[in-house]
Amino acid sequence: MDESGLNQSSKKHKLNEEQGIVDGNTKCLENLPEEILRYIISLLPTNDAVRTSILCKRWEYLWTSIPNLGFKIGSKAKRKLFMNFVERVLLLHDSSDIKQFILYCDVLHDGDASRIKAWISSAVRHNVQELVFKLNISEEQFSLPHCLFTCVTLTKLRFYIPCVLKLPPTIYFTNLKILSVRNVTFSDDHSTQKLFSGLPVLEEMFLVDCIWVNLTAVSISSPKLHCLVIIDDEENSNDEDGCQVMIFGPGLKTFTYYGPLCNDYCLYNSCSLERVVINFDPRKTARQVAYRMYRLLSGLSTVKKLKLSSGAVEGIDLSVNCKNADAILDPVPPCFLSHLRCIKVYCCAEVQNQLLHPLVGQVLEVLSFRFSCLFLNLPFLAGRLRVHCSGITSTLMRPEG
Amino acid sequence: MANGENQNPNPNPIEATPGAAARTITLKTADGEIFEVEEAVAMEFATVKSFFEDDAVSATTPMPLPNVSGSALSRVITYCRRSLEIRSKLPSPSPAASAAEAVGEGDLEAEKTAKQERKDFEAEFLKDESNEDVKELILAANYLNIKELLDFLCRSVAVRIQNKSVEYVRKFFAIEGDYTPEEEARMREENAWAFEGVDED
């Protein structure tokens, strides 16, 4: 059992206590102590928990201490019922902490927005630890209550807000460990930088399908960040210069990127980085993109495992070709010379041949630069490679060391 | 049993002194059944533990359990035995090392295995039990004050009443509704959203 729950219920049972001596009533759960009933209710989804108020008068307010509140709107026809329900639950909730607050709903007009902000504020005032919102906004911009951005108890924050998110002047998440931002349009360099700078203990960050067009340069530099995932949507990429995203991750262990490299992502000081996945689909192959690919690879100094999509392989190839005519990564990104033990390439069946040929040529160059192991999950190529790089590695799937 | 033994702060009875395994405690259920239970298992029951911690109580005295039936107790013992077994496979945290250092790769693996084992065992444990049996067990676990079992049973009860109608839950808990029909209708209206998509009985 976790830290909450029944701890408070462990009162000593005395044998001489005249409680519920066996009679016809043994199986009447009404005899259970109130804290156990509350605990059972707290394990139910919010709707079920609130429904227990109708069982009988004794149960009317038992649910009001539930720590986890989840509200997801189903059909739009019942919208009014839903909104009233959320409000009622928050109003009746007692002063005990709200551990988790999940809200999925539509924001149709200003009235909705202010109600929803009040709900979020209410959760913050109840020392919320985990917040999850999926707000379908019809307006062009939205803001969250300012108190959220300095919430001391918050450890996990995930939101999907598909519009411009206006941020407050002060942002400092003392205890936030996980941040997931989806479909948000960042409004400007200054406020976005404030957000990225106000995360002193952040460990995991997910930036998914965000729109960066309003930004020119930001940096991500949480000292404890160990997992960073950035996913860019092809449609949101701007053809212009893109944003320069500088990632200072002294504690970063894994970095995952999916998307068209519409921004210039660069890793600095990433001396703990071990695993990198680059899933890059260069439909618009351009010099610019190839250069970004090269820059990204250059920041990977200590990577041991690199997983590349066929597009990313093509990106390497392009970056090589536009770098110099000799088709060598020059200077070779540092990980290729020192730490890299495993490259994994995954390809679509149809294109793999054409795409891998240049890679194999390329990798062989690199192999001669001290690869201790090369892993390609393509048996037809394996034979070929062995011929070319015998003497360096006899087996193509060899673990590190 | 020596009282010094009882005051031993060691919370893990499996690691008790050699010979402890041989010791048993006698429990007498409401329906007069006598159970000889290994001390390690019986000490999982906080109620039994505090009974024997009382200086005046001799270890050989059979402890009466006026709230627990023989059938429930035998299930409770089965659960606690297995639970102890699973727990004993976990690496015991060494007090010297700091909490962070104590958790190595192997320890994490052991923890994962133990967790899965517990999950499988618990899933099996109540599979064929009726609601009535679960209720009897939860009352027994509450009376005997076995935190782990009580937590597991609460979770099981929550699963059994989830998405069920008010009538079903009333029946489950043996609750008599004491609202007037008007009051109840009003409450249903106030919480209308909570009644969306409830299972048919």
Domains of chain A by range and CATH? 21-66 (1.20.1280), 300-401 (no CATH)
The confidence band for B20, taking pLDDT boundaries of 50, 70 and 90, is very low
Tally of CB atoms within 10 A around A367: 20
Question: Which token pair is A60?
Answer: 């009317």
User: What residue ranges in chain B does DSSP mark as E strands?
Assistant: 24-29, 34-38, 63-65
Q: Do B157 and A45 touch (CB under 8 A)?
A: no
Q: Are strands A275-280 and A254-259 parallel, antiparallel or unpaired?
A: parallel
Higher pLDDT, A302 or B120: B120
Q: Tell me the pTM.
A: 0.79
Report yes or no for ipTM above 0.90: no
| Burial state string for A20-33 with b = 16 or more CB within 10 A and e = fewer than 16 | beeeeebbebebbe
* Optimal mutation site among B53, B146, B173, B190, interface A, most CBs of chain A within 10 A: B173
pLDDT the model gives residue A327 = 41
Q: Do B193 and A81 touch (CB under 8 A)?
A: yes
Amino acid at residue number B115: K
pLDDT the model gives residue A310 = 63
Nearest to B191 among A51, A57, A59 (CB): A51
Distance from CA of residue A132 to its chain's centroid?
12
Backbone angles phi, psi at A131, to 5 degrees: -120, 135
* Optimal mutation site among A9, A17, A48, A63, interface B, most CBs of chain B within 10 A: A48
Q: Are strands A68-72 and A100-107 parallel, antiparallel or unpaired?
A: parallel
pLDDT the model gives residue B161 = 93
Q: Which residue has the tokens 């044998």?
A: A15
Nearest to A53 among B46, B178, B187 (CB): B187
Question: Which token pair is B51?
Answer: 């009974």
Nearest to A82 among B69, B155, B193 (CB): B193
Nearest to B162 among A22, A44, A59 (CB): A44
Q: Which residue has the tokens 């087996």?
A: A395
User: Is residue A311 within 8 Å of A279, Cβ to Cβ?
Assistant: yes
Cα separation, A212 vs A187, in Å, equals 8
The confidence band for B162, taking pLDDT boundaries of 50, 70 and 90, is very high
Give A327→chain B minimum CA distance, Å.
42
Q: Burial level of A235, CB count in 10 A (0-12/13-18/19+)? A: exposed
pLDDT the model gives residue A150 = 96
pLDDT the model gives residue B90 = 79
Name the nearest CA neighbour of A306 among A281, A278, A343.
A343
Residue ranges in chain A modelled with pLDDT below 50? 1-5, 7-26, 323-328, 347-401
Angle between helices B70-88 and B131-144 (to 10 degrees): 70
Give A68→chain B minimum CA distance, Å.
14
Distance from CA of residue A12 to its chain's centroid?
44
pLDDT the model gives residue A197 = 95
Give the residue-averaged pLDDT of B9-24: 51
Determine the Cα angle at A179 with ends A173 and A180, to 5°: 150
Cα separation, A272 vs A249, in Å, equals 8
Determine the Cα angle at A34 with ends B165 and A55, to 5°: 25
Give B44→chain A minimum CA distance, Å.
13
Q: Do A50 and B188 touch (CB under 8 A)?
A: no
Amino acid at residue number A59: W
SS3 assignment, position A191 = helix
Cα separation, A37 vs A29, in Å, equals 9
Question: Which token pair is B157?
Answer: 């009860």
Chain B residues touching A10 at Cβ < 8 A: 46, 145, 147
A99-103, B36-40, B71-75: segment of lowest average pLDDT: B36-40
